[in-house]
A and B are shown apart, each in its own frame.
Chain A
């Protein structure tokens, strides 16, 4: 069964600090991995997408890494801001078939001033 596990479940950091969120998956055959940011009361918004051949992707202060061998990904947030407070969701898709992605349960990040 395809699974995506995220850690930590929640995280509190001070404004200006860096943090790293983790994602482990067992989806096969692998097609792509996406990180989403979901603000409270809104739909998820894509931050990065990586395929098998890509091991790093950046979007401003967000940098995602992918190790397809160990089936792990991380999302690094640099110089956090209050607006980074949100849920971050890792989503992995298998190739072929009906394009049904597998969602992680998300990491809730709170940035305090």
Chain B
């Protein structure tokens, strides 16, 4: 699992409330990613980070923000949760290794917005 943990693992929240999901890694990888996974869509990139304080948007970034104040932690925030953000969220890291780099995923966070 490349030392990736996500918290919380499950969360139920109400529409309009802020939510923060945390991804923590123990192996000092530079690249970290947040994905959401929904039936029929596969994994879609929300935001990614290529270093401390260096982040960029993915294909489904609207309604989400991220922060990375230290190498090991990458936070995903839903400023005002909506029902369309009900999903399973996965954090991932990219290992080094040229063209043979690997992407390792965390265990996921199941978020339900009611």
Contacts of B58 in A (CB 8 A): 100
In the complex, are the beta carbons of B104 and A42 less than 8 A apart? no
Most chain B CB atoms below 10 A, which of A42, A43, A51, A93:
A43
Q: In the assembly, what is the distance between CA of A44 and CA of B40, in Å?
A: 16
In the complex, are the beta carbons of B42 and A34 less than 8 A apart? no
Interface extent on B, as a size class?
A: 20 to 34
B45 at the interface (CB under 8 A from A): yes
In the complex, are the beta carbons of B31 and A44 less than 8 A apart? no
Q: Shortest Cβ distance from B21 into chain A, in angstroms?
A: 14
Contacts of B103 in A (CB 8 A): 34, 46, 91, 101
Q: A98-B56, A100-B48 are in contact. Are A44 and B105 (CB under 8 A)?
A: yes
A28 at the interface (CB under 8 A from B): no
Interface residues of A in 45-103 (CB under 8 A from B): 45-46, 49, 51-52, 89, 91, 93, 95, 98-101, 103
Q: In the assembly, what is the distance between CA of A51 and CA of B102, in Å?
A: 12
Chain B 78-114 interface mask (CB, 8 Å, partner A; 1/0): 0000000000001010100001111111111000000
Question: Which secondary structure dominates where chain A touches chain B?
Answer: loop
Chain B 49-68 interface mask (CB, 8 Å, partner A; 1/0): 01000001010000000000
Interface residues of A in 2-21 (CB under 8 A from B): none
Contacts A46-B102, A106-B42 known; 19 new A-B pairs at CB < 8 A: A32-B99, A32-B100, A42-B107, A42-B108, A43-B1, A43-B92, A43-B106, A43-B107, A44-B43, A44-B105, A46-B103, A49-B102, A99-B31, A99-B94, A99-B101, A100-B48, A101-B103, A104-B42, A105-B41
